[in-house]
Amino acid sequence: MKLFKRILAVAAALALSLCVLGSSLNVSAQTKSTPKMRRPLSNESPMLIVHIDTWNFPDPEKIIDLIPEELLPYVVFNISLSVGTDDAGKFLRSGDGYETSKSWIRACAERGVWCMVQPASGGKSNLPDYNSKTDYEDTLYGEFFRDYPNFLGFNYCEQFWGFDQNGAPSALERYDHFAALLKLTNKYGGYLIISWCGNRWGQNISPLAMLKRNSDYEKAARTYSENLIICDKYTQESYVHDVQSQVLGYWLSGYCGNYGVRYDSTHWDSAKNAGHHDGDYTQSTGLSIMLESMLLNGATVIDGPELIWADDIHEVGTKTVDGYSSRTWDTFATYDNVALDMFKKVTDGSVRIPTREEVAARTKVALIQNVNSGSDNAKYCTPSSLTAGLYRIEGDGALENNYYHYKSTGRYPTIPLMYKFASDKYKEGFTTVVNVSDYASRWGKKEKKVEEFNKLFPKEYSGDLYAGRYLNTWWTYNYYVKGETGKATLDLKYNTCDTIGLSYSMYSSGIITEYSDRLQIYLNNYDSNHTSKLSTDVITVKGAAEKPKCTYTVRTKNQKKPTVTQSWSNGVYTLKVTHNGPIDIKISCSGDSKKKLTDYAEPNLTPPAAPAAYKGELQHEGECFDYKNIEKIVSNGYGTGIDGYTGQGYMSFGTKSGAALRDTFKVLEDGNYTMYIRYMTSSNANGLTLKVNGSQKTINLSGGSGWKNGKLTVSLKKGENKIELSSGSTLSSKLYIDNIRLIKE
């Protein structure tokens, strides 16, 4: 309640500022649209996308309640619609993508949180792709923006498969759809998110290929770049580094305003195609790419991770309060201890995300994909030998044979691959720009390429860990996947001691932030497969003038307590951390070195404002109500013989005397409201009791075929209102409840 009031207060203060700017695709190449964004996104206001996923058959409000309060201002809830269909093309989980989306957007609006809709994974979509002649303002896409001030846009996942199949459009048709959506999102200050995975089925639908093959989409991405978010999606064990290069290149070249990472457990394969989601997988494996992308490469969006129903949020049964049962959900321990805990390090200021200008200056090198003949790999990908001798792991392959997302060293930044620079201003910071057509003559010999890169990026550490640095922050991890220990010695650049040594067990990673008199360290090695097993990481500091002091904070949620031991011998400070999960460590230490760097910047986070207050129709679904003595909750209506429901299912209220449902609505104003009870029954359901905040009346629902709307007026108070519907006698036929809706009169 306290949080709800705070959100409404902020929203009311900002309601008048949410004006939007119109724009047009018919602009010159030099014109850039600068919309007023509903929810600004930048390195100072990053985004965590949390899924309200049809695979979970969720209650949206209960998913919202699971998110820690300190993260909630940064969260955008993604209404994710499964695209699985039967042989007849009927969706297996979201009976009507439009109705499900609308209902759950309303639930998010009632709670005052940002949301977006994911219509598609791959080519198949729950929402229609219209042709380029359609005015999208007059479609459901425009409706969602107009009607819901908390709505931010559309998220198209895994745009690498399923086109031209089972009624799905072609890839080129989808790109036309994206071009039109970008124009619409620009008008309303929203976002279009598109994510890709590396794949073996055609590089002519890679991120870069979209720009090369569809001029309308290229123009829209260039014109409305601030409305476009490109995400690097990890589902396939191929083309991993290539897609990372392409997504980073999109952003650095000016073709999108922000980019992000969506990590997926089905990507992990510790034994080179030994099978998806094998026993060695844990969500900590994704920290390597997520924190590299944020700390070093400027990513501002973390989406997921997936699989949502296996790794993030799940239904855990029912609980009973006052005789009513209710479905309940909870987060998985791996979600708490990895993804959510990682983003808390962003919001507490431990992770500073660099700007595009900073990343370009650090990256230095850019590749322009100017090849227009030959194979799809030749026209749309990085050269196959690009990462050999640089950050490719020994024994791993290139492009379709690139199985690991891990890198062997952080010495060299990710090399961006670009279609071209969207304008000359994006060239700033790059010292080396190479056309792919010139690659063979310049870097065809590995030794020549490595020699040039070594001059650009001097060595700063030794050993077999990944360690990448920007300013005073290092990102480090163990890239071995067979249980080996990785070790490295880092030259301290800001702290006045000499070096820090690291010995990491499997899954271990760490953020190390240097200050002249201390080292701030965040370690995480959470292994969801062996929660009672503790692994040891060792940190050594050399060159301290006196014995360092250590303090630490255990961040692990509901896991075995770690141990931390320290020793000081012959000028070497050793810290042994035995843990399974996240831990914060502060080592107060300083030495005698005077030649240290001082040029670093502290994070300057700005929590995004809440959406403007929503005063429209509220809607709660029957399958999410509290209940007693009913026949059953139907969380998935597919195959039950009853269609036309608005969420994912309905409540089979049944016929029993004493059957009842209960729910709570939050409204902004006192007054009368029109209530609609959407129901189905073959014969009249008379003598039902409706209670609103304890005040009751008798209502009758007429029988017939199909879904009907029972309409009545109720008096509600500002804030929470408890609504109960019960039967005082046995009903003559089954009653089904689809939803209850409220509109202020």
Q: Which residue range(s) make up the domain with 152?
A: 40-353
- Same domain flag for 284 and 244: yes
CATH number at residue 542: 2.60.220.10
Question: In this structure, what are the phi and psi dihedrals at residue 557, rounded to the nearest 5 degrees?
Answer: -100, 120
Tell me, what's the pLDDT at 13? 36
- Same domain flag for 141 and 267: yes
Segment 685-736, tens digit of pLDDT? 999 999 999 999 999 999 999 999 999 999 999 999 999 999 999 999 999 9
- Same domain flag for 274 and 156: yes
Residue 253 and residue 265 in contact, taking contact as beta carbons nearer than 8 Å:
no
Residue 276 in this model has a pLDDT that exceeds 90:
no
Which residues face 393 on adjacent strands?
none
What pTM does this model have? 0.94
- Same domain flag for 584 and 637: no
Question: Domain end: 405, 437, 456, which one?
Answer: 456
Q: Does the residue 11 lie in any domain?
A: no
Tell me, what's the pLDDT at 132? 78
CA angle 693, 699, 702 (to 5 degrees): 145
Question: Domain end: 307, 329, 353, which one?
Answer: 353
Tell me, what's the pLDDT at 15? 37
Q: Considering its fold, how many domains does the chain have in total?
A: 4
Question: Domain end: 430, 456, 482, which one?
Answer: 456
Tokens for 359?
């990343």
Q: Burial-class residue 254 by CB neighbours within 10 Å (0-12, 13-18, 19+).
A: buried
CATH number at residue 683: 2.60.120.260
Question: In this structure, what are the phi and psi dihedrals at residue 732, rounded to the nearest 5 degrees?
Answer: -80, -20
Q: Does the residue 608 lie in any domain?
A: no
Which residues face 573 on adjacent strands?
541, 568
Question: In this structure, what are the phi and psi dihedrals at residue 424, rounded to the nearest 5 degrees?
Answer: -65, -25
Q: Does the residue 603 lie in any domain?
A: no
CA-nearest of 265, 234, 237 to 247 is: 234
Q: Burial-class residue 533 by CB neighbours within 10 Å (0-12, 13-18, 19+).
A: exposed
Residue 36 and residue 19 in contact, taking contact as beta carbons nearer than 8 Å:
yes
- Same domain flag for 643 and 507: no
Segment 117-139, tens digit of pLDDT? 999 999 999 999 998 789 999 99
Tell me, what's the pLDDT at 594? 86
- Same domain flag for 422 and 475: no
Segment 405-439, tens digit of pLDDT? 999 999 999 999 999 999 999 999 999 999 999 99
- Same domain flag for 123 and 159: yes
Q: Does the residue 526 lie in any domain?
A: yes
CATH number at residue 140: 3.20.20.80
Q: Does the residue 16 lie in any domain?
A: no
Segment 524-556, tens digit of pLDDT? 999 998 888 999 999 999 999 999 999 999 998
Instruction: Answer with the residue of higher pLDDT: 354 or 131.
Output: 354
Region 488-515: what's the mean pLDDT?
Answer: 98
Segment 42-61, tens digit of pLDDT? 999 999 999 999 999 999 99
Quickly state the pLDDT bin for 30 (edges 50, 70, 90). very low
- Same domain flag for 450 and 548: no
Q: Does the residue 25 lie in any domain?
A: no
Tell me, what's the pLDDT at 278? 56
Region at 309 (left for phi over 0; alpha for psi -120 to 50; beta for the rest)? alpha
Q: How many angstroms separate the CA atoms of 289 and 645, rounded?
A: 40
Who's near 582: CB < 8 A, 6+ residues apart?
A: 337, 338, 341, 522, 523, 524, 526, 555, 556
Q: Does the residue 18 lie in any domain?
A: no
Tell me, what's the pLDDT at 236? 84
Segment 173-192, tens digit of pLDDT? 999 999 999 999 999 999 99
- Same domain flag for 643 and 657: yes
Region 431-456: what's the mean pLDDT?
Answer: 97
| Mean per-residue pLDDT of the chain | 92
Q: Does the residue 732 lie in any domain?
A: yes
- Same domain flag for 654 and 736: yes
- Same domain flag for 644 and 566: no
- Same domain flag for 347 and 450: no
Region 432-453: what's the mean pLDDT?
Answer: 97
